[in-house]
Amino acid sequence: MRDADKYWAMQNLKRSDLQTEGLNLETLMEALFYRDEFLSIASHELKTPLTTMRLHTQVFKRYSTKDQSLPYSKDKVDRLVNQIDAQTSRLIKLVEDMLDISRIRSGQLCMTKDDFNVSDLLHDVVLKFSLNQINRISLKVDTNIFLWGDCERVAQVFHNIINNALKFSKDLPIEVTLIKKKTKISFSVKDQGHGISQENQKRIFHRFQRGISASEVSGLGLGLYIAREIVESHNGKISVKSCPEKGSTFTVDFISKDLL
């Protein structure tokens, strides 16, 4: 039987047939729904930066083929180039997230662990945000906290959670804290966004899940799932406390290096 014939034969199975084959109709339908939703969101997220980049490059190409100088000031050209660079970075991040999902599913999300200064790491992560975003971040970090783990992956966790807080709280400030307690290292980010309902709090750490509608904030709904996988691979725990319209606090707890 051809692949197409197999596909349509499956589509025509009745509920009893699915149960006989050991399949659950609701589970299959839910999987198909999330697949279609992901493809829709991913297509939109990839198309947006590509469209911006194409428009900017067409401007440069139009004038280069006419052997004419661009009718823009240096500042304008710099802004266009910076926008292209930002959109390229956005595309790379989207692709990296999708690759990480594939690695996680195949059990190939490798960790290269070593002893590193997590206090310095958090400062470095914050400095990579734009000046406007940094001005919204209230940072409280205990000095010289060390962690045994994968420095790059932990930085990815910090970036994902801080970036989410900045996106969901719009122009309001956020609080980022890193402290060492007796038994653990605790990283937390508190925002003043819309908040997350109790129902959504249970699912936002799963693949393709989001706290609010995709039409309100961009993203594939992968960041928190990837963050959870990385944290758990370090024997840590990630959690959230939130109330609708009162903001959210995301917390990551690692075991202190002294106890390992």
3-state secondary structure 118-174: HHHHHHHHHHCCCHHHHCCEEEEECCCCEEEECHHHHHHHHHHHHHHHHHHCCCCCE
Looking at residue 7, its pLDDT comes to 46
CA 66 to centroid of chain Cα atoms:
42
Annotated domain spans of the chain: 25-106, 114-259
Give the DSSP H/E element, type plus range, for residue 187: strand 184-190
Tell me the pLDDT of the chain (260 aa) as tens digits: 554 454 445 555 444 554 555 556 777 776 666 666 666 566 666 667 777 777 777 777 666 666 566 666 777 777 777 777 777 777 777 777 777 777 777 777 888 899 999 999 999 999 999 888 999 999 999 999 999 999 999 999 999 999 999 988 878 999 999 999 888 999 999 999 888 888 888 888 886 555 554 444 445 567 898 899 999 999 999 999 998 888 999 999 998 765 55
Other C-beta atoms closer than 10 Å to the C-beta of 83 total 15
Looking at residue 236, its pLDDT comes to 95
Would you say 142 and 177 are in contact if contact means Cβ atoms under 8 Å apart? no
Residue 16 amino acid letter: S
Please give the angle made by the CA atoms of 130, 131 and 134, to the nearest 5 degrees: 85
Check if 25-106 and 114-259 are the same fold. Answer: no
SS3 content of the chain, % helix, strand, coil (to 5): 55, 15, 30
Q: What is the pTM of this model?
A: 0.66
Give the DSSP H/E element, type plus range, for residue 116: strand 114-117
Q: Does domain 114-259 have CATH number 3.40.140.10?
A: no
Other C-beta atoms closer than 10 Å to the C-beta of 229 total 19
Query: Which residues 6+ apart lie within 8 Å of 35 measured at CB?
Result: none
Question: Which fold is adopted by the domain 25-106?
Answer: Helix Hairpins (1.10.287)
Angle between helical axes of 223-233 and 151-168 (0-180°, round to 10): 150
